[in-house]
Structure 1
Amino acid sequence: MSRTLLRGARVITMAPGRPDAERADILVDGDRIAMIGENLDAPEAETVDLTGRVIIPGLVNAHLHTWQTGLRAVGADWTLLEYLTHLHGSGVQHYRPDDMYVSNLAGALAQINCGTTTLGDWCHNSVTPEHADAAVDGLVQVGIRAVFLHGTPYRDPALPHPLAEIDRLLEGPAGDHDLLTLGMAVQGPQYSSSDIAVADLRAAAERGLVVSLHQSGGDLAPGWEAVRDAGLFGPRTNVVHGSDLPDRWIRTLVEAGVTFTSTPENELRQGHGTPLTGALLRHGAAPSLGTDVDTVVPGQILTAARIALAHQRGLDYTHDRQSAGAQARTPSITAKQALAWATAEGAKALGLADQVGRIEQGMQADLIAIDTRALNLWPAHNPVAAALHADIANIEAVMIAGRWRKRDHTLLHPDLDKVKDRLQESGERILRAMDSV
């Protein structure tokens, strides 16, 4: 097995009990982190000098509808209602399996380019088994770590999730890849009947799968109480958005171990509701982060982290001024907390906290090197802030399971121009079909 020694960087492990940032070498053995420490000696390993860089755990985009990559930015000015009308009311019916493949392929490559090593692919356009297989294949071809959350276009609330398809994927296309695991993207208690909501979450629990569901404002449907009474909310349940959830429900869900994923830029731009960051923090929990839809917002998870941090700090500062009549003396949230939302919390939300999200011995070697020598980050007096403030141009290298997927600021994938051409052709065909309706 190959061994790589990363030397000279400042390392942000996100591991409990370690400094916020430290001078340390990292020895990678195969797909795992073998050792972390100063002045490691591994003469048989390939040594990579990363002086002037900051190494952090690979970023986790816990919620992305990757199948929409080919329609990037067409809905930049869409409200949530317009998005649902144009894309889900019209666009989904024009997708072919090849569109799913190239969107997931290109979308996953774009995520790696941004420093994402783990992707929660919320694929609610698995119209047929062929569509689902093509989407899975696109992720696998890129080599990103992914949880393929199988979903379908919006359907009658009385129709259950297609469990035969879940079992088929488990036994075949999604069951035999080291970097890909299967989950369920269900309509959930907000958009299903009570009986169906209970049945879908029970099916996920019986299969040991992460189950993820949307909730975006409005009064809660009866299905929430039905799922709670059935005891089906737990650590493998993930609520996306969660806007306008009553405080008592946030407390109930947090106590049950439920995870939450906020997509702050899209939530604010499209009108999902106020991101629930502050509500979670008040209950001792924290969000994971996603970018949601490339049709509307850019897919950079560090941008999402900065927006979540700035938005909640702004709310907290306003509250302090109004309640105490004075400016706060200390910030309510730190840069390290925001970075944790994009790493450790994302891993937790996707059921992968024992594998990724921290740099520790025995964990998967999912790492990114940030070039802080660039003028926009130099001098990097505060490594944590430098990592949080990084842009795509600063993501120098990306390693997934011990294998480089980006080096020297360049994606290591063949025929990128062909991928881009296929993606453009796909998007233009779908848009023409949408316009003709």
Structure 2
Amino acid sequence: MTRVLLSGAQVVSLAPNRPDTECTDVLIENGRIAAMGGHLDPTGAEVIDLTDRIVIPGLVNAHLHTWQTALRFAGADWSLLEYLAHTHGHVARIYSQGDMHIGTLAGALNQINCGTTTVGDWCHNCLTPGHADAAIDALTTAGIRAVFLHGAGHGGPAKPHDLREIDRLYDGPIANSALLTLGMAIKGPQLSAPDAVIADLRAAIERGLVASMHQSAGPPGPGWNDVSAAGLWGPHANIVHGTGLTDEWVKRLTDAGVSFTSTPENELGQGHCTAITQQLLRLGAAPSLGTDTETAVSGEVLTAARITLARHRGLAHEQELHRTGLGAPTIALTSKQALSWATVHGARALGLADRVGHLAPGMQADLVVIDGRALNLWPAHDPIGAALQASIANIEAVMIAGHWRKRHHTLVDTDIDEVKDRLQQSGEQFAHKIRATGPVARTRRRVVRMVVRRHLSRQARSGGT
């Protein structure tokens, strides 16, 4: 039996019926939290003194595409049209299984380094079964907890998800994993014909899987009503971005238990907008958060939480300024709420709320140790505020299912230089193709952009399929 006793830290559990912050011991046995309290019995345990540290639940990045990591910041100044044209319309189609593996491995390791213990890995470039297997192997090698959201980037709106592949993965590579869960990255009612999305959602419900879908760049089309008529909205459904949904639709979906994920930095930069968080907050609900694509932004979900909090505080101040000439006299949204978006609500969106997202006896021992001694956080008068403002440099240690994946500010059992070399080799070939200036490359680029623009225009006009 493995026992670890964490002692001396300020603990932000985010658990119901516990203080916001408390100086308490955390006893971990066999990968789970066995007890939390003062002066716990250390017999047989490795005791770790965490004085002046802050312990929080492992962060949950509910929406990102780790397979794109080799393209990191290639699209720092791309519009949504350019991202779709370059990434999906061009280089995604030539990804090898090796490219999928190293991108996913590097992306997952980076998440752990940032304090993320659980990812919703939206893998919508599974060109072959081997591509999916390579991504799953990489997640396993990284040692991260993940919901592997299987998707395929190509295929017409009438084509439903490949359930033979879903069943193969469910019974095969993921079946015996303690950390990986299968989900479906579906096209959803915006990009699928009604019959196809209904078939996809029924398949997800029958298998007990989360089905995640995008909604952006246009209002909801008739397929949304068809899904409602079929009674298929529920906690198994996750909607990313949510741009274009009316308040009525957001309430209807929230009442049905549907979760929403906002990726604020990417949404603001590429034009998705971030209205869904404001709509949810008005209903007393809350978003989960993701970072989306590292072609454009970094993978730090704490940054996403801070951006979301700042944006909505800013809106409140602006509204009060128009009304009274002064900013809001009090702050409605708190740092605790923002931290919960990146933990509690992320776990719920991925169907893992019974395992991760907060710290309590019986929960998986997924947690982050933040070094509060660092100059940028000291003195940490408010541990929650300090945790929210932490950077990668402050993430001292990360534990997943009772195993240290990062200790003393360094990833454990990882040859980072080898990972970086493989990632660079993979990324350079794609960057070269994106930057190519020959006549064939220019013609291809022009055609792809034309197709993508037409597609986005059709979405904006008709609300999808």
The TM-score normalised by the length of structure 1 is: 0.99
Tell me by how many angstroms 1:277 deviates. 1.1
Code of the residue aligned with 1:372 in structure 2: it is G
Q: What does the per-residue CA deviation read over 1:365-391, in whole Å, with 9 as the maximum and x for residues that have no partner?
A: 001000010000000000000000000
Code of the residue aligned with 1:182 in structure 2: it is L
Q: Name which of structure 1's ranges 253-262 and 406-415 shifts more when overlaid on structure 2.
A: 406-415
Matched, 1:216 2:202: no
**Partner residue, 1:390:** 390
Matched, 1:31 2:31: yes
What is the DSSP-based 3-state SS (H/G/I as helix, E as strand, rest coil) of the residue aligned with 1:369? Answer: strand
Distance in structure 2 (CA, Å) of the matches to 1:307 and 1:51 = 30
Q: Name which of structure 1's ranges 248-257 and 147-156 shifts more when overlaid on structure 2.
A: 147-156
What is the DSSP-based 3-state SS (H/G/I as helix, E as strand, rest coil) of the residue aligned with 2:278? Answer: helix
Q: Would the aligned equivalents of 1:217 and 1:245 in 2 still touch at CA under 8 Å?
A: no
**Partner residue, 1:121:** 121
**Partner residue, 1:274:** 274
Task: Map 1:375-386 onto structure 2 (within 5 A).
Answer: 375-386=375-386
Task: Map 1:248-263 onto structure 2 (within 5 A).
Answer: 248-263=248-263
**Partner residue, 2:407:** 407
Q: Would the aligned equivalents of 2:74 and 2:431 in 1 still touch at CA under 8 Å?
A: no
Distance in structure 1 (CA, Å) of the matches to 2:299 and 2:274 = 20
Tell me by how many angstroms 1:217 deviates. 3.1
Distance in structure 2 (CA, Å) of the matches to 1:282 and 1:324 = 21
Tell me by how many angstroms 1:35 deviates. 0.3
Distance in structure 2 (CA, Å) of the matches to 1:123 and 1:399 = 24
Distance in structure 2 (CA, Å) of the matches to 1:114 and 1:264 = 17
Q: Would the aligned equivalents of 1:217 and 1:273 in 2 still touch at CA under 8 Å?
A: no
Task: Map 1:4-403 onto structure 2 (within 5 A).
Answer: 4-403=4-403
Code of the residue aligned with 1:386 in structure 2: it is A
Distance in structure 2 (CA, Å) of the matches to 1:256 and 1:181 = 23
Code of the residue aligned with 1:424 in structure 2: it is Q
Q: Would the aligned equivalents of 2:66 and 2:107 in 1 still touch at CA under 8 Å?
A: yes
Following TM superposition, where does structure 1 have runs of at least 4 consecutive aligned residues deviating by more than 2 angstroms?
323-327, 430-437
Code of the residue aligned with 2:174 in structure 1: it is A
Q: Would the aligned equivalents of 2:305 and 2:341 in 1 still touch at CA under 8 Å?
A: yes
Distance in structure 2 (CA, Å) of the matches to 1:81 and 1:432 = 19
Distance in structure 1 (CA, Å) of the matches to 2:172 and 2:434 = 33
Distance in structure 2 (CA, Å) of the matches to 1:244 and 1:219 = 4
What is the DSSP-based 3-state SS (H/G/I as helix, E as strand, rest coil) of the residue aligned with 2:201? Answer: helix
Distance in structure 2 (CA, Å) of the matches to 1:250 and 1:321 = 27
Q: Would the aligned equivalents of 1:302 and 1:342 in 2 still touch at CA under 8 Å?
A: yes
What is the DSSP-based 3-state SS (H/G/I as helix, E as strand, rest coil) of the residue aligned with 1:243? Answer: coil
Q: Name which of structure 1's ranges 255-264 and 325-334 shifts more when overlaid on structure 2.
A: 325-334
Q: Name which of structure 1's ranges 349-358 and 169-178 shifts more when overlaid on structure 2.
A: 169-178
**Partner residue, 2:447:** none
What is the DSSP-based 3-state SS (H/G/I as helix, E as strand, rest coil) of the residue aligned with 2:152? Answer: coil
Q: Would the aligned equivalents of 2:262 and 2:274 in 1 still touch at CA under 8 Å?
A: no
What is the DSSP-based 3-state SS (H/G/I as helix, E as strand, rest coil) of the residue aligned with 1:276? Answer: helix
Q: What does the per-residue CA deviation read over 1:54-113, in whole Å, with 9 as the maximum and x for residues that have no partner?
A: 000000000001100001000000011110111110011110000000111110000000
Tell me by how many angstroms 1:200 deviates. 0.7
Distance in structure 1 (CA, Å) of the matches to 2:217 and 2:311 = 18
Name stretches of at least 5 consecutive residues in structure 1 with no aligned partner.
none
Q: Would the aligned equivalents of 2:27 and 2:34 in 1 still touch at CA under 8 Å?
A: yes
Q: Would the aligned equivalents of 1:68 and 1:293 in 2 still touch at CA under 8 Å?
A: yes
Code of the residue aligned with 1:223 in structure 2: it is G
Code of the residue aligned with 1:226 in structure 2: it is D
Distance in structure 2 (CA, Å) of the matches to 1:279 and 1:180 = 32
Q: What does the per-residue CA deviation read over 1:234-273, in whole Å, with 9 as the maximum and x for residues that have no partner?
A: 0111000001210000000010000000000000011112
Distance 1:434 1:93, change over 3 A: farther
Code of the residue aligned with 2:99 in structure 1: it is D
Q: Would the aligned equivalents of 1:227 and 1:233 in 2 still touch at CA under 8 Å?
A: yes
Distance in structure 2 (CA, Å) of the matches to 1:408 and 1:216 = 41
What is the DSSP-based 3-state SS (H/G/I as helix, E as strand, rest coil) of the residue aligned with 1:265? Answer: helix
Tell me by how many angstroms 1:420 deviates. 0.6
Name stretches of at least 5 consecutive residues in structure 2 with no aligned partner.
442-465
What is the DSSP-based 3-state SS (H/G/I as helix, E as strand, rest coil) of the residue aligned with 2:364? Answer: coil
What is the DSSP-based 3-state SS (H/G/I as helix, E as strand, rest coil) of the residue aligned with 1:380? Answer: coil
Distance in structure 1 (CA, Å) of the matches to 2:296 and 2:154 = 19
Code of the residue aligned with 2:168 in structure 1: it is R
Q: Would the aligned equivalents of 1:264 and 1:308 in 2 still touch at CA under 8 Å?
A: yes
Tell me by how many angstroms 1:354 deviates. 0.2
Q: Would the aligned equivalents of 2:220 and 2:244 in 1 still touch at CA under 8 Å?
A: no
Code of the residue aligned with 1:106 in structure 2: it is A
Q: Would the aligned equivalents of 1:268 and 1:275 in 2 still touch at CA under 8 Å?
A: no
Code of the residue aligned with 1:285 in structure 2: it is A
Distance in structure 2 (CA, Å) of the matches to 1:254 and 1:284 = 10
The TM-score normalised by the length of structure 2 is: 0.93
Distance in structure 1 (CA, Å) of the matches to 2:175 and 2:229 = 32
What is the DSSP-based 3-state SS (H/G/I as helix, E as strand, rest coil) of the residue aligned with 2:82? Answer: helix
Distance in structure 2 (CA, Å) of the matches to 1:194 and 1:322 = 43
Q: Would the aligned equivalents of 1:377 and 1:386 in 2 still touch at CA under 8 Å?
A: yes
Code of the residue aligned with 2:410 in structure 1: it is T
Distance in structure 1 (CA, Å) of the matches to 2:133 and 2:31 = 26
Tell me by how many angstroms 1:435 deviates. 4.3
CA RMSD of aligned residues (A): 1.0
Tell me by how many angstroms 1:434 deviates. 4.0
**Partner residue, 2:427:** 427
Q: Would the aligned equivalents of 1:142 and 1:413 in 2 still touch at CA under 8 Å?
A: no
